[in-house]
Structure formats: structure tokens, C-alpha cells
Amino acid sequence: MRRMSDLKGEIESWTGLDSRASDLRELLEMAMEEGDESLTESMGEELAELASTLERLEFELMLSGEYDERSAILALHAGAGGVDSQDWVQMLMRMYLRWSERRGFGTEVLDVSPGEEAGIKSVVVQVSGLNAYGYLKAEKGVHRLVRISPFDGNHARHTSFALAEVMPEVEEGTDVSVSADDIRIDTFRAGGHGGQSVQKNSTAVRIIHLPTGVRVSCQNERSQHQNREIAMRILMARLAELEMKRRAEEMARIKGEHISPEWGNQIRSYVLHPYQMVKDHRTDHSVSSAESVLDGDLDGFITSYLKTTVG
């Protein structure tokens, strides 16, 4: 039913665009017959909007990967940089939430591990909507921030790193099958920020997939059942991503290509001092307005990268 709904929405987008284009063509022909130049000029804005919509829809046709049409699970992890990197993770989370809102995607914070002083050690967010994974897969990798640290009394310039993982939402039994014998489920007491608000009951859940060693945990919800459900959702996504990575590595081995480790060179740098610039090191796409990027204006970076990989 979800797939049918997605396809129906996609068809309606194309038929709606076709209808708008036909109406605009008829109006333009009438204006030309009557010599109404003012009407012709006023239609320029609508024509530009149609062209922009057409470009977006044509681009989405290229998102034909195995899981591209799926919703996505985004995990952000603080790297080198201490409290600054944890603050950087919080900034990135805000950036992706804003981007998702612009795109019309739904978001849900599945799990979050707050930092001791400030920021976030790690966070897992589900981004729901057609092609969410197809777009967000461009964001996998290390993100580097250069700025004057608000946590340094000497106002020194600091460099912080954070890792973005992007996994497709998958369904147990359909996309990924996991035997009950292959997982171990542990429960423990959830702890709040700085050790505060520790729950008396063991509601937090940790699931370990024994064959691969993949482990996930969730302590966001007050119900053990809810935490277990979310942890299983994240585990399924991680296992699907692991299988995709295995296949990519096998194909790269056959082709003789080198695949960089996830904590290798950064994919993008965000410089806030001594000047402002955001640059993607894979495509050389860059903008000078770092604040707009951190406010969710990511489409230029995402489409530039995806065009090099799927175009």
C-alpha cells in the first residue's frame, strides 16, 4: 500500500506538470494572437517554475538504485574534537532536519546520546518520504567544521569532525531476514543527560547481531517494547547497508578499485573562520554562505554529487 501510494504521487506529479504546461501553452497562444505583451511577460515566472519542477522530476528518475525510493535512517557520530565535535553533531542534526522540512520529508529522532557538557555524542534520525534515501546517500562520510570554538576561553580556532551514516529503511522478512538465534537482546536502565533522570526500570534495549557483531541500542522511549522496536528497525537498516557495502567492495575488488574507509578523508568542509565557505571535496562544488547551508540549503551539494554517480 505504501509503494502504491508513492507511485500514485509520482504519477500525479507528472500528469499535473503536463496539465499545467498545456494550460500555459494555450494562454501563450491566445496572448500572441491578441498581441497582449503584458500577459506574455507575466507568464515568464510560471514558465520558470515549470522548468524547475521538470528538472527536479527528471533528476529523480535517475534515482533508480535498489533502495533509492525508500525512507532513510541517518546516524550522526561525534569524532575528533571533544565537546566541539559533539556540538558539531547537534549543528548537523539541525541542518538535516531543516533540509528535510524544505523537501517535505517527515522526521523522527529515534535515539540520541547527549554529550556530558554540550552537544550530542550520537543521534539516529528517520527521514521519511519518497526518495529520501536516494538523496541522503550523498551525505555519507566525514564532515569537517572549522570555526572559533565557543568552548575555548582563548577563542582559538578549532577543527571538529563528525561521521554521517545513511541507511535505507528496510522491512524484516522482506528485505532482511534475521533469525532469533542470531541476535542477543540486553536490557539496561536508561540514563539522562549527565547521568540525570536515570530510570528505575530497565527500559533501554541493546541488540547484538551475533554473526556480524553489529550492535544497536535505543533508550529514547520510556517503554522497553518501543525501544526494542526502534532498535530492531535500526538493526535491519544497518544489516542492509552492510550487505550493500559488501557487494560494492566485491565489485570494486573485481574492478581493482580502492574504497576509502569511512573515517578517511572528509567529504565536505564547513569553514566559519577566518572566512565563510562550504566545499564538497568530491565534486568541488562550493558556496560562500555557510550559514544558509547550515540552515538546510543542501540541494546544490546533493544534486552535484549524485549527478556524478548516477548521471
Q: What is the mean pLDDT of each run of 10 residues along the chain (311 residues)?
A: 77 90 85 71 80 84 85 93 93 98 95 91 94 94 94 87 93 79 89 50 88 92 89 93 86 69 77 95 95 96 88 49
The CA-based angle 223-228-232, given to 5 degrees, is: 155
Pairing of strands 157-168, 277-280: unpaired
Q: What is d(CA 216, CA 208) in angstroms, rounded to the nearest whole number?
A: 7
Q: Is 202 helix (H, G, I), strand (E, B) or coil?
A: coil
What is the pTM assigned to this prediction?
0.80
Given this model, what pLDDT does residue 263 score?
Answer: 58
Query: In this structure, what are the phi and psi dihedrals at residue 17, rounded to the nearest 5 degrees?
Result: -65, -40
Given this model, what pLDDT does residue 258 score?
Answer: 58
Given this model, what pLDDT does residue 177 score?
Answer: 83
Q: Which three cell numbers stand for residue 305?
A: 554529487
Given this model, what pLDDT does residue 194 score?
Answer: 45
Answer for the pair 219, 192: CB distance below 8 angstroms, yes or no: no
Q: What is d(CA 143, CA 268) in angstroms, rounded to the nearest whole number?
A: 5
Given this model, what pLDDT does residue 109 score?
Answer: 94
Tell me how long the chain is: 311
Given this model, what pLDDT does residue 196 score?
Answer: 45
Q: What is d(CA 145, CA 165) in angstroms, rounded to the nearest whole number?
A: 17
